[in-house]
């Protein structure tokens, strides 16, 4: 059986979980407190980050490299389109959410409010929290501008770009940091992706000391 070393509120772990779920690849989840840098875990991934996927007898690290690998070994259902220009757009947006959205929003809001407590690294920095709360508005507006022209974020088919975005937003939604009233098209997009079977395990996540709000797992939020 495949095994994924993950952390429930790691958006990069969630991106891989969604991708595997959509492809109906079974996986056993093993929670890894990666910031404790356990030597056994560092042996599995010298980068010291989750997710790490045990696939057959191989250990795979880096969520983007893992998702590209899964696409190649299990191409159906496809999460990357067929043509180079369309594949480019998916990859651009995956990087947008993994790097820019995560750096400007998720690391600032969830990083300060949840991870500091879980990791025991002190009190939240309110300047970071404010910057994150400002930045998420711009990002939701950018998503709206994309979804005004397309059914899904990178085109008319669901793709890895949608999973990269939903991975970040679902983590933030766990701590009630997404204002779903800001954009009805973004809310409709999230309702569509939230109702996929691949999303079920994510909606069942529970972090001790941080119970999710009731709307988190509600498909009619």
Give least dist CB 44 to a copy of itself, A: 13
196-215 positions binding a copy of itself, by CB under 8 A:
none
Please report whether residue 127 would count as binding a copy of itself according to CB under 8 A: no
Please report whether residue 46 would count as binding a copy of itself according to CB under 8 A: yes
The CA-to-CA distance between both ends of the chain, in Å, stands at: 34
Among 26, 36, 72, 220, binds a copy of itself (CB under 8 A): 72
Summary count for the chain: helices (H), strands (E):
10, 4
Look up residue 194 and give its DSSP letter: H
Please report whether residue 154 would count as binding a copy of itself according to CB under 8 A: no
Please report whether residue 17 would count as binding a copy of itself according to CB under 8 A: no
Segment contacting a copy of itself (CB under 8 A): 30-38, 55-63, 170-178, 193-201? 55-63
Q: b/e string for 53-72 if b means 16 or more Cβ within 10 A?
A: bbbeeeebbbbbebbbebbe
Please report whether residue 47 would count as binding a copy of itself according to CB under 8 A: yes
Helix (H) or strand (E) holding 136: helix 126-147
């Amino acid at each position: 059986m495949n095994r994924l070393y993950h952390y429930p509120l790691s958006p990069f772990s969630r991106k891989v979980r969604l991708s595997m779920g959509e492809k109906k690849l079974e996986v056993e989840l093993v929670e890894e407190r990666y910031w404790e840098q356990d030597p056994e875990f560092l042996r599995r991934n010298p980068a010291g980050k989750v997710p790490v996927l045990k696939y057959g007898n191989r250990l795979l690290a880096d969520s983007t490299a893992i998702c590209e690998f899964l696409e190649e070994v299990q191409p159906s259902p496809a999460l990357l389109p067929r043509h180079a220009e369309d594949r480019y757009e998916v990859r651009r947006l995956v990087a947008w959410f993994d790097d820019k959205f995560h750096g400007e929003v998720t690391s600032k809001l969830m990083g300060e409010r949840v991870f500091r407590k879980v990791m025991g690294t002190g009190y939240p920095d309110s300047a970071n929290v404010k910057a994150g709360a400002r930045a998420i508005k711009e990002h939701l507006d950018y998503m709206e501008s994309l979804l005004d022209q397309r059914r899904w974020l990178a085109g008319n088919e669901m793709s890895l770009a949608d999973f990269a975005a939903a991975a970040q937003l679902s983590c933030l939604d766990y701590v009630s940091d997404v204002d779903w009233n800001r954009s009805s098209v973004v809310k409709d997009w999230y309702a569509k992706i939230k109702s996929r079977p691949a999303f079920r395990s994510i909606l069942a996540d529970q972090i001790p000391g941080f119970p999710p709000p009731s709307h988190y797992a509600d498909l009619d939020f």
